[in-house]
Amino acid sequence: MSETNKKVALISLYRDDTSGNPPLGSLYLATALKKNGFIPKIIFKSESQIGQIESEIENFKPALIGMSVFTGYLNKRYVDLSRQLKDKGYLIVWGNAHASLLPEQVLRESAIDFVVIGEGEETLLELAKNLGNKDNYKNITGLGFKGENGQIVVNPRRNFGDMDEYLIDWSLVDIEDYIVPYFSGKYKRTLMVVTSRGCPFNCQFCYNQVFNNRRWRAHSAEKLIANLKPVIAKHKIDAIRFLDDNFFVNKERAFAIARGLGLPYWAESRVEFVDEKFVVNLKETKCQEIMFGFESGSDRILKEVVKKGITVADTIRAVTLLKNSGIMASGSIIFGLPTETEEEYKATMKLIIKLSEINNNLAFTCGWFLPFPGTGLYEVAKTLGFKPPEKIEDWDIFDRWRNDYEMAWVKWDYRQAVKYSRQVVHLLALAHKRNIPFLKTILKKRIEQANYFFPLDIYLFAKLRNIYLFSGQKNFITRLIRRVITYIIKLKQIK
Ligand code: B12
Ligand code: SF4
């Protein structure tokens, strides 16, 4: 990089219908760059704001543009944007999970000059320092690039760094832009952070196996608390969401952080971590919601396919122990795993009913299995007929929330199930939470029989949910009236 241009732009996009979780990866990278004399600029835009990016880049004129890309529905947007900026003559580097897991495929795209594999602070820094000195690229561990004749070169991976070296420099952004309401609006000023990276477990669908080589590393509790306390005080943060892959790998450290920050919080864990003492600690440190991977109601799937290291009984035990604790337990469910039979899918649905009956402070996020590159199940899915996209832009069909996914690796007719399972599970959990007996009964029948014929009830309840009927907010009547008045006013305006 020339002495005169030390500018690096870091672009992260988010979907219009999400609140825009802070681009923590870009924040860590910008911290490392700034600490070493570079001038980073974070550009964080929703899909509909992509049109603004080119003029921001032209005004900033960076020597290098970084893009943070994970596998999924924004891939095509990132490719189009890369091409647009390449046409203006910029150098482009992709980082994050997608670039790390498919570096060759990413580099086959002519608009992309470099990829960074794994965590990016040190590698990006070295790239920025050596930009233009092509002979040095081969010595930068963790870097992928194009050699003299355009051949793709992917260097060996870099060892993991010390997270405490680069605690986020929060002055790089306007934190107010990243404060969001959470816990159904109970807390208005939630900040999202990560305190650790990676996870030592071996779940066969998870990026951790390859992206983090199952290595877990973390900020020390003291340094992280010292980093966050001033931000919390200055911005009146009233809750925290820990976005760590597995916040509780070291329970002592995790609870020290939660205790030190003293705020209500959300975090992810594993069901077998839960015992009486764990629940007491969660309560004492003001945990509001803890999320687990329940994954499946079949022990065969858990053991042989996912290699999760838990049983269905562990899940039931954890949910039972959390009952009446005031802490919401939420669980991620994956339907349609390779080799899952229709009976095993039904077993998962029945587990969902059982868990809802045990503990009414429960929520589920259900999605259909997607073979993420590099994972163990990606290989299995390929042997069962999955054809991975050959171009990077085509990975944007990977969307866990889609209801029309073609799953070559599933050998039963899952079309009805794909369409309704997620919605019906969501409504069932709500029916238990709000204790609505007729809704509980209807949905239980549907789920037990996996019968989604003429789903008028599901449609109606889902609509009612959208008008806050089940939102549980005390002022829902006021909101309903306000909605009706707004609607009438709109109608009048149209006339
Ligand atoms: C918050 C979050 C989201 C937020 C958005 C976050 C955001 N603004 O970036 C929301 C809720 C929108 C989201 C959505 C999805 N997510 Co998500 N998400 C996360 C989560 C929990 C935290 C991300 C984070 O901030 N990490 C902390 C930072 C510090 O780490 P990092 O991002 O990895 O950054 C480091 C490196 O990757 C690298 N790096 C990152 N960017 C760049 C850029 C450059 C230029 C360079 C050089 C390096 C580099 O350097 C960074 C510092 O070392 C992660 C899990 C996790 N703990 O990381 C999953 C995770 C990233 N999500 C994942 C997935 C699958 C999705 C979805 C596809 C799910 C779906 N609906 O189908 C969607 C798709 C989104 C899309 N395609 O745009 C997977 C990614 C797997 C993969 N192969 O891509 C993860 C890893 C979860 C998992 N265990 O599977 N997600
Ligand atoms: S426990 Fe969670 S983060 Fe860890 S490997 Fe399994 S799915 Fe991934």
Residue 466 within a domain: no
139 Cα: distance to centroid of ligand 2 (angstroms): 32
The mean pLDDT value for 45-60 works out to 96
Q: What is the pLDDT of residue 401?
A: 75
Q: What is the pLDDT of residue 495?
A: 52
Query: Residue whose CA is closest, atom 22 of ligand 1?
Result: 243
Q: Is it the case that residue 30 has pLDDT exceeding 80?
A: yes
* Whether the CB of 73 sits within 6 Å of ligand 1: yes
Pocket probe for ligand 2: among 194, 201, 269, 270, the residue whose CB has the most ligand atoms within 8 Å is 201
The residues, any chain, with a CB within 8 Å of residue 156's CB and separated by 6 or more, are: 141
334 Cα: distance to centroid of ligand 2 (angstroms): 13
Residue 11 within a domain: yes
Q: Are residues 138 and 246 in the same domain?
A: no
Which of ligand 2's atoms lies nearest the C-alpha of 199?
A: 4
Residue 386 within a domain: yes
The count of structural domains within the chain is 2
138 Cα: distance to centroid of ligand 2 (angstroms): 33
Q: Are residues 93 and 170 in the same domain?
A: no
Among 154, 175, 200, give the residue marking a domain's end.
154
Q: Are residues 284 and 411 in the same domain?
A: yes
* Whether the CB of 400 sits within 6 Å of ligand 1: yes
Q: Are residues 217 and 351 in the same domain?
A: yes
Q: What is the pLDDT of residue 62?
A: 98
Residue 470's pLDDT band (boundaries 50, 70, 90)?
Answer: low
372 Cα: distance to centroid of ligand 1 (angstroms): 13
21 Cα: distance to centroid of ligand 1 (angstroms): 10
133 Cα: distance to centroid of ligand 2 (angstroms): 39
Q: What is the pLDDT of residues 267-291, one digit of tens each?
A: 999 999 999 999 999 999 999 999 9
Q: What is the pLDDT of residue 145?
A: 98
Q: Are residues 117 and 246 in the same domain?
A: no
Pocket probe for ligand 2: among 196, 202, 204, 206, the residue whose CB has the most ligand atoms within 8 Å is 206
208 Cα: distance to centroid of ligand 2 (angstroms): 7
Among 154, 184, 211, give the residue marking a domain's end.
154
Strand partners, 362: 329
Residue 467's pLDDT band (boundaries 50, 70, 90)?
Answer: low
Query: Residue whose CA is closest, atom 1 of ligand 2?
Result: 201
Q: Which domain holds residue 247?
A: 165-449
Residue 349's pLDDT band (boundaries 50, 70, 90)?
Answer: very high
Q: Are residues 190 and 287 in the same domain?
A: yes
Amino acid, single-letter form, for residue 100:
S
Q: Are residues 225 and 372 in the same domain?
A: yes
Q: Are residues 246 and 300 in the same domain?
A: yes
* Whether the CB of 40 sits within 6 Å of ligand 1: no
Strand partners, 193: 242
Q: Are residues 274 and 177 in the same domain?
A: yes
Pocket of ligand 2 (CB under 6 A): 199, 201, 203, 206, 208, 245-246, 270, 293
69 Cα: distance to centroid of ligand 1 (angstroms): 8
Q: What is the pLDDT of residue 493?
A: 63
Q: What is the pLDDT of residue 34?
A: 97
Q: What is the pLDDT of residue 404?
A: 74
Mutual angle of helices 251-261 and 276-284, in 10-degree steps: 20
Q: Are residues 239 and 125 in the same domain?
A: no
CATH of the domain at 42: 3.40.50.280
* Whether the CB of 65 sits within 6 Å of ligand 1: no
Residue 480 within a domain: no
Q: Is it the case that residue 305 has pLDDT exceeding 70?
A: yes
Share of the chain above pLDDT 90, in %: 76
Which of ligand 2's atoms lies nearest the C-alpha of 205?
A: 7
CATH of the domain at 284: 3.80.30.20
Q: Are residues 146 and 16 in the same domain?
A: yes
Residue 487 within a domain: no
Closest ligand to Cα 163: 1
Q: Are residues 50 and 181 in the same domain?
A: no
Q: Is it the case that residue 190 has pLDDT exceeding 80?
A: yes
Residue 473 within a domain: no
Which of ligand 1's atoms lies nearest the C-alpha of 70?
A: 84
Length of the chain measured in residues = 495
Residue 233 within a domain: yes
Closest ligand to Cα 76: 1
Residue 458 within a domain: no
Among 125, 154, 183, give the residue marking a domain's end.
154
